[in-house]
Amino acid sequence: MKNTEPRPRTIIEPFKIKMVEPLPFLSRSERQQILVEAGYNLFLVEAKSVTFDFLTDSGTSAMSAAQWGAMMIADESYAGSQSFSRFQQTVRDLTGYEFVLPTHQGRAAERLLFGVIVKPGMKIPSNNHFDTTRANIEQSGAEAIDLVIAEGRDPAKQHSFKGNMDLDRLDAFCAKYQSEIPCGMLTITNNTGGGQPVSLENIRGVAKIYKKYGIPFILDACRFAENSYLIKLREQNQGSRTVKDIAQETFSLADGCLMSGKKDGLSNIGGFIALKESQWLPALRASLILTEGFPTYGGLAARDLEALSVGLQEVLEEPYLAYRIAVSSYMAAGLNALGIPTMQPAGGHAVYIDAKAFLTHLPPEHLPGQALVCEMFLAEGIRSCEIGSVMFGKTVNGKFQPAAMELVRLAFPRRVYTQSHFDYILEGMAEIAARKERIRGLKISWEPPFLRHFTSRFEVV
Ligand code: F0G
């Protein structure tokens, strides 16, 4: 009898490569010298010395031929350009929001919105606020409150939607502070919580609560396509819908969004605010003109609007999303098979290695995350980012205070690396795992007064 079941096949990169860039390969001793000169801080290493750059998935996408083509026909008129019309149409079609304001990137959208709607002493809840969102809220004198579910705070715990909001806590919070909440937020996917998705059921629940208290609901939507695809894969009764349909329902549940186009916009720069209603519009436009640019370009060249417009459509192609989500699950499974623990399950855009559980011979004060970041650079030329005691720990009266977790984030640029790159990296990670006891700890030798992970210098202990 003929087997009609589809054959399980390797998920491949659903594109062919038209333009390439060489990968720099340095020797371990060359990297050792570079690392010492950079004070063991990968933010201070030049990109030309990095073979695989997993510092961020933001602004690092490879653009398509269609995006580059659209850039060539951009209309660079100061006001009312056709590029803006096309961009606005794309955003309206995707989100259903009438009012679209371009900005140069996500944090500019944050600064504009909070600058207009926030007064000192107010509070803005979310599952987890991203660092710049939190900083912009605090800069306006308000408080950023994280209400992710308990599972979202436990790296080893398996849960399909660890980005979900704790609805009971949200309801109680809104009841208590109703008049002090200028808007309520939700980050999809939840980057700070490990790139974890939020279920459609939870988004509906969040919308209902904000509506009940008359609080405008604003999505931080920069990874909306990855979130929608994970809903299609994991949530009951969602498997037969298109990702675009799920994304459109997601947006329809909120009153507006803040967007960094540098993630699921598949662009190297750009962002926007989009809103259902116009009540904040005059003030937002005035502030936009003052600091970003005229409302039909918002600090971008029209060619950037074109790239973003095409990117926002391409990102919903399901073969692309299948490949995109396979990247992080493939890497997480490969690392786990080598005994390297990662946050479970893999997130949409990144894998987070649990350095505390992997390098058990290093106590937190010997900075296991930063030690692993440095070893992966020395051995493989990988650039990753410590999210642990360097980023969130403190030194108080000369005494070390560790962070709750010691994570290392490998964030994957979109459409940039192929499966053979990841296989090569996993071969090297096997070697690191085999000699992990020999990895030496680090200590901070110099640190600035704040945001120390960017510029601190370290030495081997
Ligand atoms: N919101 C989220 C959830 C983000 O992840 C980021 C940026 C922003 C807002 C700000 O957008 O960079 O365009 O100003 N995340 C990057 C990262 C920087 O590496 O995770 P932006």
Residue ID of nearest Cα to ligand 1 atom 11? 106
Last residue of a domain, one of 263, 279, 314: 314
Residue 450 has pLDDT above 80, yes or no: no
Q: Same domain, yes or no, for 329 and 248?
A: no
Summarised one tens digit per residue, pLDDT across range 137-190 is 999 999 999 999 999 988 889 999 999 999 999 999 999 999 999 999 999 999
SS3 content of the chain, % helix, strand, coil (to 5): 45, 15, 40
CA of 401 to the centre of ligand 1 (A): 26
Whether 56 is in the pocket of ligand 1, judged by its Cβ within 6 Å, is yes
For ligand 1, what atom is nearest to the CA of residue 107?
A: 14
Q: CA end-to-end span of the chain, whole Å?
A: 66
Residue 316 has pLDDT above 70, yes or no: yes
The predicted structure's pLDDT at residue 1: 46
Q: Which amino acid, one-letter code, is at 47?
A: A
In 3D space, the residue among 146, 55, 12 whose CA is nearest the CA of residue 376 turns out to be: 55
The pLDDT-based confidence of 449 (bands split at 50, 70, 90) is: confident
Summarised one tens digit per residue, pLDDT across range 230-239 is 999 999 999 9
Whether 271 is in the pocket of ligand 1, judged by its Cβ within 6 Å, is yes
381 vs 323: CA distance, rounded Å: 24
Last residue of a domain, one of 314, 345, 371: 314
Give percent of the chain above pLDDT 70.
98
Residue 345 has pLDDT above 60, yes or no: yes
- Chain centroid offset of residue 230 CA: 15
Whether 309 is in the pocket of ligand 1, judged by its Cβ within 6 Å, is no
Residue ID of nearest Cα to ligand 1 atom 12? 106
**Global pTM?**
0.95
Summarised one tens digit per residue, pLDDT across range 396-438 is 888 889 988 899 999 999 999 999 999 999 999 999 999 999 9
CA of 58 to the centre of ligand 1 (A): 7
In 3D space, the residue among 187, 55, 35, 152 whose CA is nearest the CA of residue 405 turns out to be: 152
What domain range is 49 assigned to? Answer: 28-57+317-460
Total number of domains constituting the chain? 2
CATH of the domain at 229: 3.40.640.10
Per the CB < 8 A criterion, the answer to whether 142 and 136 are in contact is: no
The Cα-based distances of 339 to 93, 348, 353, 424, 436 in angstroms read: 45, 21, 11, 17, 11
Residue 422 inside a domain? The answer is yes
Residue ID of nearest Cα to ligand 1 atom 13? 106
CA of 59 to the centre of ligand 1 (A): 9
**Tokens 């715990």, residue located:** 157
Mutational test site, ligand 1, from 54, 113, 132, max ligand atoms within 8 Å of CB: 132
The Cα-based distances of 198 to 158, 254, 267 in angstroms read: 14, 14, 23
Q: Average per-residue pLDDT in the chain?
A: 95
